[in-house]
Chain A
Amino acid sequence: MQAVKYARPSSIEEAVGLLAAGAGRARVLAGGTDLIVLARERRIEVDLFVDVKAVDALTAIAYDQGAGLTIGAAAPCYRIAANPAVREHYSCLVDCSTLIGGVAIQGRASLGGNLCNSSPAADSIPALIALGTTVEIAGPGGRRTVAVEDFCTGPGRNVLGAGEFVVALRMPPPAAGAGAAFQRFIPRGEMDIAVTNAAVRMEFEGERVSSARVAVGAVAPTPLLVEEAGAALVGSALSEATIEAAATAARAAAQPINDMRGTIKQRRHLAGVLTARCIRVAAERAGVGP
């Protein structure tokens, strides 16, 4: 490991100060499952790890019926997946938190870290997009928020400026008659990186879909919100035709690459398949059959 120092601030302001003073060579340490590897393998140059896990807001998971869900950016996956409010109202987050890495990785890895690593294949980002998540950012200029679908700007790149870091992820309160799901395709059962992944959240008024958000991942430089797929679902009851229209929109939005994990053709196909599967599971969870 390069000669990195370690600091454990107890407030957001202290963390901002440390990061600003680090001039790009201070990095936020949450679960460390990406950062420590990047630093050890010298894929980044880093002088200081700023361990934010002593800051309450970074590890808290708070649910309020009116305000919705707030997850501290450094809260580990296992705590998210075990949280009763998450299990009851945001099961889409259980889907992704229980398949990022294995059990040991889930003991440390955070959704804030997954977001800031900004991999096109990140497993939590499509779920966060489908849920309409707002990213709360702190930095030298104060606080600001960004819609999660606007956070990533390219593979490993995002909107965070110098000295900024993600404090928390905020999701709107659950609506009655809503359901969401996340799925990914990998060639083995677990411990792998998505060939393609997708997430869907829908709200229903009776049988009719009143709102829908569809997201796909690993098919473009960043995870994508596919507004056309959501629009294809809204306004009528789910049918084979509307599900296929949404899947077609997801395939059309996909701009994948060929790599060791999959081909352009396979990934585009999977974007449609996983979108359709997520729609069916989300509908089932909402208590509405297609």
Chain B
Amino acid sequence: MTTEAGTSRLIIGATINGEPQEFIADERDSLLEALRERIGLMGAKEGCNNGNCGACTVIMDDRIVCSCLVMAAEVQGAEITTIEGISSSESLHPLQQSFLEDAALQCGVCTPGFIVAAKALLNVNPHPQEAEVRLWLAGNLCRCTGYDKIVQAVLDAAGDGKDTA
């Protein structure tokens, strides 16, 4: 991490969605602000900006975090996966397909956080029980669906033997 010449802004190196890159951020920027305003990845959403809603969830070095509760400067050298990096191909990730088929979203603001969190769950537990899904997703709030369809979509993505990698 270095400082941009003639400014107090930081030049931060991180692997974002599989690609090593450098971006410029202010020292006061959160990771969420850097993703959205500096890097142009608008998938992670600002819901509460205090760690309660999970709409800004991203994967940082194999763990989900609220990107609003991480300073951009902290991700120097880290690997970050956002909703934009969930599918490695042109087609939808099985979780994204399940969310569509199960109508697991309405307004969609919470959806990137849910899908990123669910992906991290399936990475460590490919066939979770319903209670495990509900517990894992307890940090993600949805004010539209009532959760049942979201939980079902995660179970469907896991249970169909689809490749969720």
A contact residues vs B (CB 8 Å cutoff): 1-6, 8, 29, 31-33, 36-37, 40-41, 49, 51, 53, 76, 78, 101-105, 107-108, 189-191
Contact = CB atoms under 8 A, between A and B. Distances in A.
B138 A189 contact: yes
Contacts of A189: 134-135, 138
Interface stretch (B68-76, B87-95, B104-112): B68-76
B28 interface: yes
A32 B139 contact: no
Contacts of A101: 51, 139
Interface in B49-105: 49-52, 54, 57, 60, 63-66, 68-71, 73-74
A108 B30 CA distance: 14
B157 interface: no
B139 A33 contact: no
Given A37-B69, A40-B49, A108-B69, A102 B139 contact: yes
Chain B interface helix/strand/loop/mixed:
mixed
Given A103-B64, A189-B135, A51 B70 contact: no
B153 interface: no
B27 interface: yes
A32 B63 CA distance: 15
B138 A36 contact: no
14 contacts: A1-B28, A1-B30, A3-B28, A6-B71, A8-B73, A32-B69, A37-B50, A51-B71, A76-B63, A103-B138, A104-B54, A104-B65, A107-B64, A191-B139
Q: Which 9 interchain pairs have the tightest Cβ spacing?
A: A102-B139, A107-B63, A6-B73, A190-B138, A1-B28, A104-B64, A37-B50, A6-B27, A102-B138
A5 B51 CA distance: 21
A122 B64 CA distance: 22
B154 interface: no
B150 interface: no
A4 B27 contact: yes
